[in-house]
Amino acid sequence: MKVYQTNEIKNIALLGSSGSGKTTLAEAMLFESGVIKRRGSVAAKNTVSDYFPVEQEYGYSVFSTVFHVEWNGKKLNIIDCPGSDDFVGGAVTAMNVTDTAIILLNGQYGVEVGTQNNFRYTDKLGKPVIFLVNQLDNEKCDYDNILEQLREAYGSKVVPIQYPLATGPDFNALIDVLLMKKYSWKPEGGAPIIEDIPAEEMDKAMEWHKALVEAAAENDEGLMEKFFEQDSLTEDEMREGIRKGLAARGMFPVFCVCAGKDMGVRRLMEFLGNVVPFVSEMPQVHNANGDVVAPDSNGPVSLYFFKTSVEPHIGEVQYFKVMSGTVHEGDDLTNADRGSKERMAQLFVCAGANRIKVDGLCAGDIGCTVKLKDVRTGNTLNGKGAENRFNFIKYPNSKYSRAIRPLNEADTEKMMVILNRMREEDPTWVIEQSKELKQTIVHGQGEFHLRTLKWRLENNEKLQVKYEEPKIPYRETITKAARADYRHKKQSGGAGQFGEVHLIVEPYYEGMPAPESYKFNGQEYKITPKSTEEVPLEWGGKLVFVNSVVGGAIDARFMPAILKGIMSRMEQGPLTGSYARDVRVIVYDGKMHPVDSNEISFMLAGRNAFSEAFKNAGPKILEPIYDVEVFVPSDKMGDVMSDLQGRRALIMGMSSESGYEKLMAKVPLKEMSSYSTSLSSLTGGRASFIMNFANYELVPSDIQEKLIKEFEAKEAKDE
């Protein structure tokens, strides 16, 4: 296979909701370009994409599939992305390493929540978008209605390039208003019959053609002047205008296909080859330092590794994009993230599970390799003269979490190795070994996402695991000031132990004034701070430690021990054993013994005095609150809102966004445990949401009582 130059390469992401037909379209594109001799089908489980056992088990794309086609002297690298929101990681990765997005729409459903989500990502990344209406042979397909939905959602930039003469089971012809020709197909699809537009369609075709010419001219001043002078543009001028409009997101062309019957696919590929921007025409990428890295095939070599897959009999296959330079077989490169040296022993271009060996790949191209020693997803390999690192892919936050444990505890270490390896394949799986909760937590994008993980562990790795509800990371704090003292005294032959600590605790907030005096049971305590230490807590909030001991009652060298004792109790709050936060402790008095006082004595005295004071200071449990944004079809708004209110949510606002409603709320994490499943069930899978940690807030008193009782019962059982 020839080595394609940067100005001959185009990188394209296939996006769309589940069931929009991306895998079937990929199959038709591979067939049309001669990469495969026969089209497979999802039902027959023999497609180039979706070749992993878990995908064939569920009939869903779980991973993105990288493939390429050669078309009219151009190389199209295409990444077929999973449609389910649970596997959004693959789509986000693909959008970051490709230059144009094709968003498929299911002819039966039109604009879905997946369409909205994908479009939102392309908007964030500034990527060109082509809308592709698929399954025109579905009896419920209404093309004009879909166009209306698209225009309502994305405005006048939506410009159709084709329209079908009829939709439903009889679909076999469309009008192309860029070429002004009628395309029709025999039942087997494939090569079209190209004819002049019938007289009865000419008025409509001319009207749509004129709208297209106008949209193409809008993106170039020279073309706009010519359009005003001549009221038309040549085919080449229109292509140039559309290319510029695509690159600037000033235009979103709409195409039609029936991928299942291979109708319209060849024409789509002609458009991709002729009109879609090349790598060299897209905005340039910046490295982690903010420097521009041009896709220059003569520059120093930099490869960005964006995907890892573990395949039977091969092991890790690692996919990369050539950000700069030209990489050849046998090149020695340095890993910018890990410092290790790597040799590129073999280079391939991909067509799903099939790989074709190549001698080299130029800037902008996408390829894969095997048997690297120490490369992880997200790493950069550099040749001489390059010092790049790339970190431009930002994944969405997790939305669904479960504690995971092997049925056989002896397999814990094995499980962790496998989980961390699987995370290389899908960075939206986040593995956390929580010291606080004493659980291994797997965070993902939804219930189906985690179910897939479990299926792979049990079927591919033969490791039986169990999911459990993750514990909630509560926090404990106090609501008023309290005082306590504690004497630790122990005598056992020889030297004894002695330490006495008197302290005051109170709630802490940023900017609070230095302590002066306190009154407890009619007695006043004057405070003269000698030193103040602020300890930022790794779990959030602060502990402020004030030394106000006068007259040498406690030697300064014992203060760190007292602080250590207090910190040990902060790590295990007295109400539920959760971390405590936002407390100011003032040590104002105490006693020591010239022989028996030592650090352990004052550590224990400090810990016990703090514990007693904390319990008398109006202790309260805090719970994590999340900002939740739900994107929901307007007809389901009422159901979603009442469900949220049943989850103790505080509705913060509502707004409309591209035909969908956006609902903003603050919701306790405890209530979000199975929200993704409930939301999907409430809306028939048509809604989506994102959540971000907001803050900690007091739990209602009835819930606090319940939590304390549960903790006390557990403590009694463990004793």
Question: pLDDT per residue over 412-425, tens digit each?
Answer: 999 999 999 888 88
- Mean pLDDT confidence for 668-679: 92
Q: Determine the pLDDT at residue 59.
A: 62
DSSP 338: T
Q: Determine the pLDDT at residue 475.
A: 95
Q: Indicate whether 353 pLDDT > 80.
A: no
Of 40-54, 222-236, 300-314, the poorest mean pLDDT is in 40-54
Q: Indicate whether 3 pLDDT > 90.
A: no
- Mean pLDDT confidence for 195-217: 92
**Confidence class for position 574, pLDDT limits 50, 70, 90:** confident
Write a three-state SS string for 355-376: EEECCEEECCCEEEEECCCCCC
- Mean pLDDT confidence for 63-79: 90
- Alpha-carbon span 416 to 448, nearest angstrom: 21
Question: Beta partners for 163?
Answer: 175
- Mean pLDDT confidence for 498-506: 96
Q: Determine the pLDDT at residue 658.
A: 62
Residue partners of 327: CB distance under 8 A and separation at least 6: 301, 303, 333, 344, 347, 360, 361, 367, 383
Q: Indicate whether 273 pLDDT > 60.
A: yes
- Alpha-carbon span 248 to 119, nearest angstrom: 15
On the 0-12 / 13-18 / 19+ scale of CB atoms within 10 A, 56 is middle
Of 36-45, 80-89, 201-210, 577-586, the poorest mean pLDDT is in 36-45
Q: Indicate whether 584 pLDDT > 90.
A: yes
Q: Determine the pLDDT at residue 558.
A: 96
Q: Determine the pLDDT at residue 227.
A: 67
Q: Determine the pLDDT at residue 480.
A: 95
Dihedral class, residue 190 (left if φ above 0, else alpha if ψ from -120 to 50, else beta): left
Q: Determine the pLDDT at residue 649.
A: 96
**Confidence class for position 534, pLDDT limits 50, 70, 90:** very high
Average pLDDT value for the chain: 90
Are 181 and 198 in contact, with CB atoms under 8 Å apart?
Answer: no
Q: Determine the pLDDT at residue 54.
A: 62
**Confidence class for position 309, pLDDT limits 50, 70, 90:** confident
DSSP 3-state of 613: helix
Q: Which tokens belong to 696?
A: 């900690």
- Alpha-carbon span 459 to 360, nearest angstrom: 37
Q: Determine the pLDDT at residue 487.
A: 96
Dump pLDDT digits (tens) for 356-402. 999 999 999 999 999 898 899 999 999 999 999 998 889 988 889 99
Q: Indicate whether 9 pLDDT > 80.
A: yes
Inter-axis angle of helices 22-32 and 265-274, nearest 10: 80
Q: Indicate whether 612 pLDDT > 70.
A: yes
Q: Which of 218-222, 286-290, 503-507, 571-575 has the highest mean pLDDT?
A: 503-507
Q: Indicate whether 99 pLDDT > 70.
A: yes
Dump pLDDT digits (tens) for 686-716. 788 999 999 999 999 999 999 999 988 888 8
- Alpha-carbon span 623 to 576, nearest angstrom: 12
- Alpha-carbon span 326 to 361, nearest angstrom: 6
Dump pLDDT digits (tens) for 143-191. 999 999 999 889 999 999 999 999 999 999 999 999 999 999 998 888 9
How many CB atoms are closer than 10 A to CB 523? 8
Residue partners of 705: CB distance under 8 A and separation at least 6: none
Q: Indicate whether 224 pLDDT > 60.
A: yes
- Alpha-carbon span 224 to 65, nearest angstrom: 40
Q: Which tokens belong to 599?
A: 């650090």
**Confidence class for position 719, pLDDT limits 50, 70, 90:** low
How many CB atoms are closer than 10 A to CB 479? 11
- Mean pLDDT confidence for 234-252: 88
Quote the strand ranges of 393-452, DSSP E.
Answer: 400-406, 430-434, 439-444
Of 274-283, 359-368, 428-437, the poorest mean pLDDT is in 274-283
Question: Beta partners for 483?
Answer: 504
Could you tell me whether strands 531-536 and 542-547 are parallel, antiparallel, or unpaired per DSSP bridges? antiparallel
DSSP 3-state of 66: strand
Dump pLDDT digits (tens) for 110-131. 988 889 889 989 999 999 999 9
For the whole prediction, is pTM greater than 0.85? no
Q: Determine the pLDDT at residue 392.
A: 86
- Mean pLDDT confidence for 639-644: 94
Of 106-115, 254-263, 563-572, the poorest mean pLDDT is in 106-115
Q: Which tokens belong to 51?
A: 């070749």
Nearest alpha-carbon partner for 82 in 113, 49, 107, 123: 49
Q: Which tokens belong to 354?
A: 């099939």
Dihedral class, residue 540 (left if φ above 0, else alpha if ψ from -120 to 50, else beta): left
